[in-house]
Amino acid sequence: MVVVALSVVAGRDVRAQTESPEVLRAIELENAGKYREAIPIYREAMRTHPTPIVVLGLERSYHELGMSDSLLAPLDSVLAKFPREPMYHVVHLRTYQILRRYDALRGAFERWVRDDPRSAAPYSEYARVLIQLGRPASADSVIARAKTALGSTRDLQYETAQLRAAMGEWEPSANAWRLALANDAQLASAATYALAPAPAGVRPAIRRIFLMAPPERGARRALADLEIAWGQPQAAWEALRGLPPDAETATVWEDFGDRAMLEERFGLARDALGAAVRVKRTAALALKAATASLRAGSPADVFTLVPVGEWQSDPARAANSYVPLHVEALAALGRGAEAEALVAKYDKYLPPGQHARMARLLASAWVRSGDLARARQALRTAGADADSSDAAGLIALYEGRLDAARALLRGSRDQSADMALVLGIVSRVRGDSAPQLGAAFLALARGDSAAAAQRFVEAAERHPEAASAILLAAARVHAARNDAKRAIPVWQRIVERYASAPEAAEAELEWARALRRGGDTAGAISHLEHLILNAPESALLPQARRELDLVRGSVPP
């Protein structure tokens, strides 16, 4: 039905103007839902001057009235007059398919082959119908017959590809898709849809086929989409990266980068947009690439992607987009003085609301460089809003002023995991001063994760009332650095010394996961069982049971 609708819409717009006034009237009647009135006009036109528009109009009208079988007689006459018009044969096949008259469907196919013996169209159309009907074996026979009759299946690659995929013959399907995509890169989505269900074991072969030289845009795009579907976004970019760098490829890279940004895969976005901008430099693309670099943790790239020289001549536009980006990059690098100078230079052009944000960025720049006094100063100069913000609260925390930190962070609307960690710990530590804890968070803010983890462990000793939460922060830092060797003793300490603390369940689950990743199945099982039995009310129980099933091999990996 969808096929019918699509062909009709296309026909109406493009060809209707060449039709007779009577046929145009029939189309109008049909558009108004007056099928019974349109049908006699179409039928008369079919008798006197048949065209594809007329045949499709009559097909549509009969279909709407559930009278598709009435089309067969006039269609038969038209086919006798125009035996090599493929559109009429397609309608013939489709009508029998709609009527579920499969013997007659095969007869229509045989007639088409007789009418046009050197054409691949009858084989491709009939094979597609058979695939749609869930009869891949029959479609296979049709393709094999086409090969005998035509000498090759060059014109049937799309059908072959679909057929092989439907039969689970993934490698032959990928080969056929590769050939089909070479002729029509627009089939990439169809290839992805057909090959996405391929089991993991055959995916390397599919990759090999699509990556074969020479690199072709259709095949690489299809492979990239497949890799995304298979949960391998990095491999998706690898597939696209090998394309020849030209304007068309740059558009493919830009599309991929945009998608990666939306999905918050900033590293991939940085690579793809960076590659695109090197081939097709536009101001908008460069800005996107710079933003992606910043989000991906490569702030220094901002200065090369959107250098100051390119935008300083238009201060108003610069203040809207380029200045915040540069300030954020400088802040991330801890270059407070440069950031401060840049903000001062464009201060009068900054839109309302940006001042407070700039102040927070400047403060974070100074935090990053370890100068808390200047960080505080930066917030103060921005006014009361900035000075009572989360940033001010965090600076108080870094300085160990827990009372101020609590007061300032109490109303925080920041729902990030980082802020949750801060609030979770700050709310449990007693007293108004915690310099060791502040130093740990400061080290974390400065990007010195090794020092941060060490200081969290030290701070835990000073604050036994919140030791489990502080230790868990240390373990998370180690785990984020993929340092299981250092994380495991911390998790162990939480589980053994603070068994009744809420963090014990998370620590034990992470410990078990690390053991499983390291191949210690027995150890992982032991910890998961301990966790499930000792924390039956924990919200992590479903995760723990799932892990236990996986480690025992009770469910497919």
Partner 1 sequence: MIDRLARRRRMLARLALVVATLTGGPALANAQRMLVPMDDGQTNHLKAYGLTYNAIKAGLQAEWLLNYRGGAFLLPDAPELRRRAGLDGISVEAVSDAQLGAIRREMAGGNMESVPLEKAPKIAVYSPPDAQPWDDAVTLALKYAGIEFTAVYDTEVERGDLTKYDWLHLHHEDFTGQFNKFHLGYRDAPWFRELVAKNQATAKKLGFVTVPALKKDVAEHIRQFVERGGFLFAMCGATETLELAIAANGVDIAGEFADGTPMDPNSDAKMQWRRSFAFKDAHLEHSPFVNSMSDIDGHQVNVAGRRQPLGTFTLFNFSAKFDPVPSMLVQDHRSVLSDFYGVTTSFTKSTLKNGVVILATEEGAPWTKYVHGDYGKGTWTYLGGHDPEDPQHAIGNPPTDLSLHRSSPGYRLILNNVLFPAAKKKPLKT
Shortest Cβ 139–partner 1 spacing (Å): 10
Shortest Cβ 195–partner 1 spacing (Å): 11
- The smaller minimum CB distance to partner 1, of residues 1 and 200, is found at 200
Shortest Cβ 178–partner 1 spacing (Å): 17
Q: Is 464 in the site for partner 1 (CB under 8 A)?
A: no
- Using alpha carbons, list the distances in angstroms from residue 52 to 49, 104, 404: 10, 22, 79
- Using alpha carbons, list the distances in angstroms from residue 18 to 15, 87, 181, 504: 6, 17, 34, 78
- Using alpha carbons, list the distances in angstroms from residue 199 to 170, 195, 206, 549: 9, 9, 11, 22
Shortest Cβ 79–partner 1 spacing (Å): 25
Q: Is 552 in the site for partner 1 (CB under 8 A)?
A: yes
Q: Is 541 in the site for partner 1 (CB under 8 A)?
A: yes
- The smaller minimum CB distance to partner 1, of residues 129 and 391, is found at 129
- The smaller minimum CB distance to partner 1, of residues 198 and 228, is found at 198
Q: Is 512 in the site for partner 1 (CB under 8 A)?
A: no
Shortest Cβ 539–partner 1 spacing (Å): 14
Sign, CA torsion 545/550/553/556: positive
Shortest Cβ 133–partner 1 spacing (Å): 6
Query: Residue 433 in 3-state DSSP?
Result: strand
Among 134, 231, 309, 352, the residue binding partner 1 under the rule CB under 8 A is 134
425, burial (CB in 10 Å: exposed 0-12, middle 13-18, buried 19+): buried
Q: Is 556 in the site for partner 1 (CB under 8 A)?
A: yes
Shortest Cβ 317–partner 1 spacing (Å): 51
Print burial letters for 240-272: b (CB count within 10 Å at least 16), e (below 16): bbebeeeeebbebbbebbbbbbeeebbbbbbbb
x/- letters, 194..213, toward partner 1 (CB under 8 A): ---xxx--------------
Among 111, 280, 380, 545, the residue binding partner 1 under the rule CB under 8 A is 545
In the numeric block, which tokens belong to residue 234? 């990095």
Q: Is 137 in the site for partner 1 (CB under 8 A)?
A: yes
In the numeric block, which tokens belong to residue 275? 């590659």
Angle between helices 247-262 and 266-279 (to 10 degrees): 160
Stretch in the footprint of partner 1 (CB under 8 A) among 329-337, 389-397, 458-466, 540-548: 540-548
Shortest Cβ 280–partner 1 spacing (Å): 40
Stretch in the footprint of partner 1 (CB under 8 A) among 69-77, 218-226, 279-287, 533-541: 533-541
Number of residues in contact with partner 1 under rule CB under 8 A: 31
- Of 307, 309, 233, 308, which is closest to residue 271 (Cα–Cα)? 233
**Any residues with CB less than 8 A from the CB of 67 and at least 6 apart, and which?**
none
- The smaller minimum CB distance to partner 1, of residues 492 and 534, is found at 534
Q: Is 107 in the site for partner 1 (CB under 8 A)?
A: no
Q: 10 Å Cβ neighbour count for 456?
A: 28
Shortest Cβ 213–partner 1 spacing (Å): 24
- Is 74 within 8 Å of 46 (Cβ atoms)? yes
- Is 387 within 8 Å of 379 (Cβ atoms)? yes
- The smaller minimum CB distance to partner 1, of residues 1 and 555, is found at 555
Query: Residue 520 in 3-state DSSP?
Result: coil
Q: Tokens 């390397």 label which residue?
A: 204
x/- letters, 66..105, toward partner 1 (CB under 8 A): ------------------------------------x---
Shortest Cβ 549–partner 1 spacing (Å): 5
- The smaller minimum CB distance to partner 1, of residues 176 and 318, is found at 176
Among 133, 179, 182, 235, the residue binding partner 1 under the rule CB under 8 A is 133
Shortest Cβ 152–partner 1 spacing (Å): 18
- The smaller minimum CB distance to partner 1, of residues 194 and 495, is found at 194
How many angstroms separate the CA atoms of 419 and 411, rounded?
A: 12
- The smaller minimum CB distance to partner 1, of residues 352 and 542, is found at 542
Stretch in the footprint of partner 1 (CB under 8 A) among 2-10, 273-281, 488-496, 546-554: 546-554
x/- letters, 146..175, toward partner 1 (CB under 8 A): ---------------------xxxxxx---
- Of 499, 418, 427, 511, which is closest to residue 466 (Cα–Cα)? 427
Altogether, the residues listed in the chain come to a count of 557
How many angstroms separate the CA atoms of 57 and 111, rounded?
A: 23
Stretch 8-47 residues interacting with partner 1 (CB under 8 A) = none
- The smaller minimum CB distance to partner 1, of residues 39 and 191, is found at 191
The four Cα atoms 93, 96, 102, 104 give a dihedral, to 10 degrees, of -80
The four Cα atoms 272, 273, 278, 283 give a dihedral, to 10 degrees, of 170
Q: Is 136 in the site for partner 1 (CB under 8 A)?
A: yes
Shortest Cβ 554–partner 1 spacing (Å): 5
**Any residues with CB less than 8 A from the CB of 1 and at least 6 apart, and which?**
63
**Any residues with CB less than 8 A from the CB of 221 and at least 6 apart, and which?**
185, 188, 240, 252
Amino acid, res. 50: P
Shortest Cβ 199–partner 1 spacing (Å): 5
Task: Please state the separation of Cα 440 from the chain's center in Å.
Answer: 36
Shortest Cβ 137–partner 1 spacing (Å): 4
Q: Is 546 in the site for partner 1 (CB under 8 A)?
A: yes
- The smaller minimum CB distance to partner 1, of residues 17 and 554, is found at 554
- Residue 212 has what DSSP assignment? P
**CA angle, 419 as apex, 415 and 422 as ends, to 5°?**
145
| Residues making contact with partner 1 (CB under 8 A) | 102, 133-138, 140, 167-172, 197-199, 529, 532-533, 536, 541, 545-546, 548-549, 552-556
